[in-house]
Structure 1
Amino acid sequence: MKWNKLTPYFLISPAYSLFIVFFILPVILSFQLSFFEWNGFSANKVFIGIDNYKRILSDLTFWNAMKNTMVYTFSTVPLSLALGLLFALLLSGGIKGTSVFRAIYFMPMIISMVAIAVVWNWIYSPNEYGLANAVLHVCGIPMQTWLSDPKLALVSIIVMGVWKNMGYCMVIMLAGLKSISPSLYEASSMDGADKWQQFRTITVPMLMPTTTFLLIVQTVHSFQVFDQINVMTKGGPVGSTEVIVSYLYKLGFDQFEMGYASAVAYVLFVIIVGITLVQRKLLDRNTV
């Protein structure tokens, strides 16, 4: 009988062992490392206390990266959710080929971000061979240096981020729409409610749990944006697309400041947790 009780723990122990070794342990060690100065190679680490965290306060590059991360997140997330809801509403209307359109819109989500970044590098090519400039040329608009212009580079990355994420939001929103009982719409229609009133009083409140989930997941994901930045701009031009993760990557693997990079990573962790808790609190309050 005792062995029967222990069997489930033996079965899950391999997965939990990997989780502890490759996630929990590195998290603990990196937090410890944030109080040291270390280049990643020397045998000795110099304990400097909270100096790495103090350095963040006066690090202009960090605050520029934080600003760019905030702009990317608070542009990409609302647009992705809004477009995802729009396409979900269109596909929930019973049009032919819903499954095909759903697969097409969701496809960018399952493709490697590196592969997508390479394709969008071509789209944003600064000559007439780039798709974006070819469209502008046909419309009689001057061609742009999308990724080389500090004013356009981050906007270009945001457009690509919205394109990639909206398919995922659409599929989740579509599942949320299908979970709403049709009887609610029938009852409101009998009471004289039009489509807009039904959307505002039934669809939006009933989709709040789905919206909460997407808002939290997309915010956390957007704060960790890295692959497209690393492939397309390397944080340039002149730091206009430098984000927190690309900055801490450079600190750790280009400048070999492992301790300071760990401190930056933990500041990012605290910010993500804080924003997530605030979002959850506000959304829970709105659903009451």
Structure 2
Amino acid sequence: MRKRKSFKKRDLLGWLVMLPTLLLFAFYVWEPLLENVRLSMFSAVRYELQEFVAFDNYIKVINNPDFIAAFKNTFSYTLWSLVIGFLVPIALGILISETVRFKGLFRVGIYFPNIVPGLATVWIWSFFFNPGKTGVLNIILSKFGIDPQLWLTNPHWTIPLIIITLTWKSAGATALIYMANISSISPDLYEAATIDGAGIRQRIRHITLPSVFSLAKTLLLLQIISVFQILYEPMVMTNGGPNNASISLMMLMYRYAFRDFDFPSGAALSVMICIVLIILSGIYTVATRKKED
């Protein structure tokens, strides 16, 4: 009986400690989420709900010609981010961890882009990829006798170039996380590998990469969720163009809510994005769990 009472006291104390956080989480996350689901099933005039329309707003969003383009582009953003952006922080983290001198300088250098405000970063890269003769990249290429390229106005290059911008902005912070994980690896493993005649490639392959694998799985899922909600990069750099070649689902939702003031349709699209992310997260979790087993 004493053990049960003491357990209940500890349990109650734990809930009391978590209570402020749970209340804030419910107020700022769950309540807006449920309200958003309710809004998506009503018609509205600006902020005033009118009548219950069930799934009519969802059907309206799906029938919008821009929806298919935004849906495809969002998955393209996600895939290109995995091709371009996922391995860059791992490579940076490993390379800097293997360096002997100027580690602090390199850490500051790769983290510096994260200090720059996001919109400023997008504007800088917009001028860099300017398709005219005044574009920085075209000016550099002209020194080598290469004609000016279209860059962001070329629908085949738009999404990869936006992902390069996003990678330049965020890779440094992620690389520091990998470096922190690598620094926690026991030096005895590297010493034993060196004694056995292993070179730098063998150490990275058999010690470093297996050690960061679990962290990489978590960051991969977070990257998918983050890139799937890409918004201001294509909005500022291309405004969704050319011809909807870079429009994303979040950008389409922004147009519904803040350009057309069609808040129920924007809410419906946001619920659909949430459902897609839940499905992707579930598939990823099941796939990685099976691999671990």
Shorter-chain TM band: 0.7 to 0.9
Whether contact under 8 Å (1:77, 1:222) holds in the other structure is no
TM-score, normalised on structure 2? 0.87
- Per the TM alignment, residue 10 of structure 1 is displaced from its structure 2 partner at its CA by 7.3
Q: TM-score, normalised by structure 1?
A: 0.88
Offset at 1:249? 0.6
Residue segments in structure 1 that go unaligned for 5+ positions in a row: none
Who is 1:268 aligned against? 273
Q: Distance in 1 between matches of 2:208 and 2:11?
A: 46
SS of the residue aligned with 2:152?
Answer: coil
Contact 2:234 2:240 in 1 (8 A): yes
Report the alpha carbon displacement of residue 82 of structure 1 after superposing the two structures with TM. 1.1
Q: CA deviation at 1:67?
A: 1.0
CA–CA separation in structure 2 for the residues paired with 1:70 and 1:163: 20
Aligned residues: 287
Call closer, same or farther: CA 1:80–1:39 in 2, change over 3 Å: same
Which digits, 9 at most, give the CA deviation of each residue in 1:159-199, with x for residues without a partner? Answer: 11121122122111111211221222333444454443333
Aligned residue among 248, 252, 256 for 1:251: 256
Question: In the aligned structure 2, how far is the partner of 1:246 from the partner of 1:234?
Answer: 9
Q: Quick one: percent identity of the two aligned structures?
A: 26
CA separation in 1, counterparts of 2:123 and 2:149? Answer: 18
Distance 1:169 1:287 in 2: 24
1:205–1:287 Cα contact (<8 Å) kept: no
Alignment partner of 1:112 out of 95, 98, 117 = 117
CA distance in 2, matches of 1:224, 1:178: 32
Structure 1 residue 9 displacement after superposition: 7.1
Instruction: For residue 28 of structure 1, report the CA deviation from its aligned partner.
Output: 0.8
CA contact (8 A) 2:43 2:49 kept: no
Deviation at 1:44, TM superposition (A): 4.2
Structure 2 residue ranges without an equivalent (≥5) = 1-9
Matching of residue 230 in structure 1 with residue 235 in structure 2: yes
Give me the CA root mean square deviation: 2.7
Please list the CA deviations of residues 191-243 of structure 1 after superposition, one character each: whole Å capped at 9, or x if unmatched: 45444333333222211121012111211111111111222222111101100
CA distance in 2, matches of 1:204, 1:282: 20
Find the residue that maps to 1:92 and give its secondary structure.
Answer: helix
CA distance in 2, matches of 1:279, 1:186: 36
Contact 1:88 1:174 in 2 (8 A): yes
